[in-house]
Amino acid sequence: MQTIEDITTDFEYLDDWEDRYRYLIELGRALPPLPEDAVNDENKVRGCVSQVWLTSEADDANPPHLTFRGESDAHIVRGLVAIALALYSGKTAPEILDIDAEAVFGRLGLQDHLTPQRSNGLRSMVNRIQSDAKQALAPA
């Protein structure tokens, strides 16, 4: 999986938004599929027009590191899932909560080139990831 730094560099290299959309689709295609049993109502991200599912696993470290996996039924949205995973997966819960996703998405130019529905869906993914990070920090 590519890092968010790699993705940012690739976005800067691509001048045309048609090329960036194709790149988003490629990022989505590179995501490993979720197991069938993970594509369920519990893992579904609310607030996305397209179908999006996210899973998270926290390790036993203090603070815990979270690993995210995701999937979507829409090509471009699957690429947005890949960007969100590159931004958050493998980080500690406090690091996840400190990330300014809007700033990162702004550097990529996503706010200006996504439909309002896709922007809302991306925001819903970020909210879900941050919620999972908060839950990982909560006492058992």
Active-site residue identified among 4, 45, 48, 114: 48
Contact (CB, 8 A) for 129 and 83? no
H and E: helices and strands count for the chain: 7, 2
- Nearest of 50, 57, 58, 59 to residue 81 by alpha carbon: 50
Running DSSP on this structure, what letter comes out for residue 36? Answer: G
Q: What is the DSSP letter of 40?
A: S
Contact 109, 92 (CB under 8 A): no
pTM equals 0.94
Name the architecture of domain 4-137. Alpha-Beta Complex (3.90)
Per residue in 8-54, pLDDT (tens digit) is 999 999 989 999 999 999 999 999 999 999 999 999 999 878 999 99
Q: Are 122 and 114 in contact (CB under 8 A)?
A: yes
Give phi and psi for 72, each to the nearest 5.
-145, 160
pLDDT band at residue 139 using 50, 70 and 90 as cut-offs: confident
32 is catalytic: no
